[in-house]
Amino acid sequence: MILDRLQSLRARLLLGVVAGMVVLQVASSLAVYSLAQRALIRRFDQAITSTARALAAQVKYDKAKGLHVDLDTLPMPEFQRPRGPDYFQVWGPDGTVVARSQTLGGDDLARAPSADKPVRYDCMLPRRESGRAVLLTVGAQQKGPPHQRDPPQMVTIVVAKETEPVRNDLRALAWILMATLVAGAVVAGGLAWTVVTHGLRPLHRVAQQISQVEPSALGQRIDPSGLPAELQPVAARLNTMLNRLQAAFERERGFTADVAHEFRNPLAAMRSIGEVAMASPQSADEYLKDIAEMVALARGMQAMVEKLLLLARLDAGQVPVERSRVDLGAMVAAELAARRRELDRKHVSVASAIPDHYQVEGADPQLLSLVVANIIDNAVAYVDAGGRICIEGEAGVITVQNTGCGLSPQEAARVFDRFWRGDPSRSATGNHAGLGLSLAQRAVVAMGGGIEAAVHDATFIVRVHLPA
């Protein structure tokens, strides 16, 4: 359940934002706590150091009393408090105890090694409390002129104080920081929820617009106005995808209608021939003529089905490409020879600039034969009576031109669409289904080449760029 919720973009953003803010708060709290701890300990050390220096001023030496601590002139009540008192202990140069606070009783304070400057360290106090101490090494005070004084008497003074007040302050600070952290996390969660929800509104709007796209209404597009800059490329790509989907659906609907139309006419003709033959007795020759017409129509439909299957295989990339040296000259000559009767019937002149046995490299023989057959068949089918067909081939480019073209440049751009013909009435249905140039285009693309069509001065021009 939790993993499913984490798949949500909102949940991920909230988790990331809140986690980041909590980590930032934790880091800030730790920094505040560390700085406060250092400040409290520094202030604590300064206080006990000041007490130690004040006590050092009361350590005196004279011949009569020797080393002693005079607290009569400067009473220090911090050493006499019944609860939480400070402690001190003074050692002479020979290590003997000169004085200690009454709160120590007979105990000694922990003594660190002497040094020229104050030494601060943690220690355990007589009542088993945790404390902190400072050690000073100073000369005892002497009276009289300097030239009459005895050699300096160096004493070691240790003043200690329990650190419970500092720990209490730090504990209170820790609780405050924890409460602040919890409250901050709650506020951060609410703020992150508001910010993320507001930030995801454009994405929700895009999702809502996408959900309203139906196969029956593919003309709707995503409005990029008002979208953040990060989502505008997404909207543009989605609109491009919707354009492709709309075009694909339109092609599918057009394909279905075209296939139905192309099969309807020959099927209607076959039915009409059969019904006429059944309506009245005929001679055997007449029956054979009717059967021959029906077989011709069936062959035309079979050829259309085979072309559709080949187109589907080419679209799916299921036609293997085997590249080799191909005799283009012989291939063109064979295709023209196969259509010589139709060319003579229409009194068409053919000019082929492709020499005999002209070889091309890197083409698939079967696919190239399919391309040549279809573009020449298209030229023969649509050339005008008494017109002219020109075929050229050089530098990997095959050009086929035929006169008598009535297409506009805009219509010429559609000649590779399936079932499209320049004859809106489809008067040639059954002979030319509008699949030849589509097959040629897919075959050329499968070989890695290109094909284009153009119209110039009523001349239809097809150029095939073979793969290099």
The reply to whether 309 and 343 lie within a common domain is: no
Average pLDDT over residues 428-438: 62
Backbone angles phi, psi at 274, to 5 degrees: -65, -45
Report field, pTM of the whole predicted structure over 0.75 = no
Q: Which residues of 383-413 are buried (b: 16+ CB within 10 A; e: fewer)?
A: beeebbbbbebeeeebbbbbbbbebeeeebe
Residue 422: what pLDDT? Answer: 64
**Would the pLDDT of 16 be above 90?**
no
The reply to whether 267 and 392 lie within a common domain is: no
| Bridging pattern class, strands 349-352 and 388-394 | parallel
Residue with the bigger pLDDT between 149 and 196: it is 196
The reply to whether 333 and 459 lie within a common domain is: yes
Range ranked top by mean pLDDT from 32-41, 333-342, 459-468: 32-41
Boundaries of domain holding 367: 324-465
The reply to whether 11 falls in a domain is no
Average pLDDT over residues 409-434: 66
Residue 7: what pLDDT? Answer: 58
Residue 425: what pLDDT? Answer: 47
The reply to whether 311 and 328 lie within a common domain is: no
Distance CA 267, CA 430 (A): 10
H-run or E-run covering 460: strand 459-465
The reply to whether 403 falls in a domain is yes
Average pLDDT over residues 238-249: 82
Percent of the chain, pLDDT > 90? 22
Average pLDDT over residues 137-151: 77
The reply to whether 403 and 345 lie within a common domain is: yes
The reply to whether 460 and 401 lie within a common domain is: yes
Q: Tell me: the pLDDT tens digits for 332-388?
A: 998 898 889 999 999 999 998 888 778 888 888 888 888 888 899 889 989 999 999
**Would the pLDDT of 3 be above 50?**
no
Residue 258: what pLDDT? Answer: 63
Q: Of 107, 131, 162, which residue constitutes the final position of a domain?
A: 162
The reply to whether 3 falls in a domain is no
The two three-digit tokens of residue 424, written as one number: 């809106």
The reply to whether 271 and 150 lie within a common domain is: no
Distance CA 343, CA 231 (A): 60
The reply to whether 311 and 359 lie within a common domain is: no
Q: Of 162, 181, 206, which residue constitutes the final position of a domain?
A: 162
The reply to whether 72 falls in a domain is yes
The reply to whether 118 and 250 lie within a common domain is: no
The reply to whether 37 falls in a domain is no
Residue 345: what pLDDT? Answer: 92
**Would the pLDDT of 401 be above 90?**
yes
Average pLDDT over residues 450-457: 90
Residue 435: what pLDDT? Answer: 74
Which domain CATH number covers 284? 1.10.287
Instruction: Give the residue from 188, 219, 180, 439 showing the smallest Cα distance to 315.
Output: 439
Residue 400: what pLDDT? Answer: 94
Q: Residue 455 gets which letter from DSSP?
A: E
Cβ-proximal residues to 197 (8 Å cutoff; 6+ apart), any chain: 10
The reply to whether 391 and 450 lie within a common domain is: yes
The reply to whether 281 falls in a domain is yes
Residue with the bigger pLDDT between 318 and 110: it is 110
Which domain CATH number covers 460? 3.30.565.10
Q: Of 252, 283, 315, which residue constitutes the final position of a domain?
A: 315
The reply to whether 440 and 336 lie within a common domain is: yes
The reply to whether 6 falls in a domain is no
Q: How many domains does the chain have?
A: 3
Residue 369: what pLDDT? Answer: 86
The reply to whether 43 falls in a domain is no
**Would the pLDDT of 174 be above 60?**
yes
The reply to whether 302 and 399 lie within a common domain is: no
- Computed over every residue of the chain, the mean pLDDT equals 83
